Amino acid sequence: MEATSPAGSSMLSGLSSGVVLSLIAVLWTVVWQNLQLQQFFARHLSRHARRLAAMVDPYLSVTIAEYEGRRMKRSDAYEEVKAYLSDASARGVRHLRAEGAKDADKLVLSMSDGEEVEDEFQGAKVFWEAYSKPPPRSDGAAAFWGGGGAQEERRFYRLYFLERHRSLVLETYLPRVRQLGRAVMVKNRQRKLFTNISTSQWSHVAFEHPKTFATLAMDPVEKKRITDDLDMFKNGKDYYARVGKAWKRGYLLYGPAGTGKSAMIAAMANYLDYDIYDIELTSVHSNTDLRKLFIETTSKSIIVIEDIDCSLDLTGSRKKKEAAEEDDKKDKKDGGPFRPGEKKDTSSKVTLSGLLNFIDGLWSACGGERIIVFTTNHVEKLDPALIRRGRMDKHIEMSYCGFEAFKFLAKTYLDVDSHPLFDAVGELLREVQMTPADVAENLTPKSLDDGPDSCLADLVKALEEAKEKKARGGDEQDLQEEEEH
């Protein structure tokens, strides 16, 4: 048997060492991955780092962000903290933000980024810091939920307090901050009129419309029914929770132009002390954008879509619409591909289904105490599914001026409760249809010499002319011309 040479022995020894090292590396990798030793060591180091940090910095912190749920909804807690800190900010902060207040001569102040406010509660000192972060890199989810708002800075308040005050701060101080903040918000609240300036973004102005139910030309009995209904809604939080319904109510205002539908909305907002969100549906490109707008609305608001029959094709002729879409597809197929000179279709793609989900689908329960109002001049054109009870709970016909509404207007515009011409006006109003807007225009003094006699005479003259026109068939001719246009 031949002896192994020294060179061969050295080679076998090297191979054995390489195999052993490889096996060790494989085993280590398996153990490292399967037993998750990285996480073990990371947690161990992190735990000691936190303990060391607590020795150096004994303060805990609570962060309150402006938006919740990846910017889907503005945080009520953030707004309440902001309101609570407004008085303290005015006293102890060098750099402030200012916003308009309910009083036109005052401002609501808050901290600018990087500022800090000290507060004290039952012997515990706490510190509030304001800061913001640049928008994150846009991705699909951010673009979907945030829209244009996703590119804004994200703002935060951070509260610092000592470990020994943890229970006091979390269980007593923070709830008190929110309660006091809500009280300040009510005191400083300036009601707003919102509109969608783009497909999924709101802009607003101060809501200063003077119309109230006290100055609304309507039968007093019907007016009382509406205000009672609004009172029941506003105080109905427990009722809606008990029956398992979203705290919202739908109103359909229908009737000819000039009968006071927009004035009714303003009176409702002033009566309830609510904001108004006026949605221009033709500016909303899709059902998703409509959902984004709805999420951004606040509680205690009236969401309005005026002239809904003119905004989109939401009528009952869905079969005709489907047939037209098939024809369009066929035309595009026959006509070949899109040409550079053609205009792209930028019209709204909001559908009846999307609008119905907006009114009473799952998303309608995001928030509470909202009233949704549709107005139309032609209620018969709307799809029955859109205006059925449960969606539009209360249907209010805004009709032509009756005698009771006329007497209200005469008192408002001329300060008269009776006049010899009242009987003539009453008789003519039973024969002629005239809107409250036209009656009010005739009762409005046009010069310093005008008074009850001349204004009422002008109204009688206008009613007599309308009666003669009706006798000549003028109404049918006007209706025909309107349909042609």
Tens place of pLDDT per residue across the chain (485 aa): 455 555 555 555 555 666 667 777 766 666 555 555 566 666 666 665 666 665 666 888 999 998 876 556 678 888 899 888 887 766 667 777 777 666 666 777 778 888 888 889 999 999 999 888 876 655 444 444 444 444 567 889 999 999 899 999 999 999 999 999 888 888 878 889 999 877 678 888 889 899 999 989 888 889 999 999 999 999 999 999 899 888 999 999 999 988 999 999 999 999 999 999 999 888 888 888 888 888 888 889 999 999 988 876 655 444 444 444 454 444 444 444 444 444 444 466 788 888 888 787 777 777 789 999 999 998 888 888 888 887 899 999 998 998 989 999 999 999 999 999 999 999 999 999 999 989 999 999 988 888 999 999 999 999 999 999 888 875 555 555 455 44
Q: Which two tokens stand for residue 152?
A: 């804004």
Instruction: Give the burial class of 124: count Cβ atoms within 10 A of its Cβ; 0-12 exposed, 13-18 middle, 19 or more buried.
Output: middle
Tell me how far apart the alpha carbons of residues 99 and 77 are, in angstroms, rounded to a whole number.
18
Q: Which two tokens stand for residue 109?
A: 């102040």
Which 3 state secondary structure label does DSSP give 22?
helix
Report long-range pairs for 176-181 (Cβ below 8 Å, ≥24 apart).
176/121, 177/80, 177/81, 177/84, 178/77, 178/80, 178/81, 178/84, 180/84, 181/79, 181/80, 181/81, 181/82, 181/83, 181/84
Strands (E), 46-170: 59-65, 67-68, 73-74, 96-100, 107-111, 116-121, 124-133, 154-162
Residue pair 417/456 in contact (Cβ under 8 Å)? The answer is: no
Beta-bridge mates of residue 111: 96
pLDDT confidence of residue 37 = 56
Tell me how far apart the alpha carbons of residues 103 and 190 are, in angstroms, rounded to a whole number.
8
pLDDT confidence of residue 457 = 94
Tell me how far apart the alpha carbons of residues 23 and 234 are, in angstroms, rounded to a whole number.
75
Q: What is the dihedral of CA 62, 67, 68, 71, to 10 degrees?
A: -140
pLDDT confidence of residue 45 = 67
pLDDT confidence of residue 267 = 96
| Phi-psi label, residue 407: left if phi above 0, alpha if psi -120 to 50, beta otherwise | alpha
Parallel, antiparallel, or unpaired for β 107-111 and 96-100?
A: antiparallel
Return the residue matching tokens 């899709």.
286
Query: Between the CA of residue 412 and those of 102, 262, 263, 415, what are the distances in Å?
Result: 28, 19, 15, 6
CB atoms within 10 A of CB 38: 10
Beta-bridge mates of residue 277: 194, 303
- Please list, in sequence order, all residues whose beta carbon lies within 8 angstroms of the beta carbon of residue 110, skipping any fewer than 6 positions away: 82, 85, 86, 89, 96, 97, 99, 130
| Kind plus residue range of the DSSP H or E element containing 319 | helix 318-335
pLDDT confidence of residue 475 = 52
Crossing angle (nearest 10°) for helices 436-443 and 452-471: 140
Q: Which two tokens stand for residue 481?
A: 């011309």
Residue 324, Cα to own-chain centre: how many angstroms?
33
pLDDT confidence of residue 291 = 86
pLDDT confidence of residue 47 = 63
Closest to 465 in 3D by CA, of 475, 477, 480, 455: 475
pLDDT confidence of residue 284 = 87
pLDDT confidence of residue 226 = 96
pLDDT confidence of residue 167 = 93
Residue 197, Cα to own-chain centre: how many angstroms?
13
pLDDT confidence of residue 190 = 82
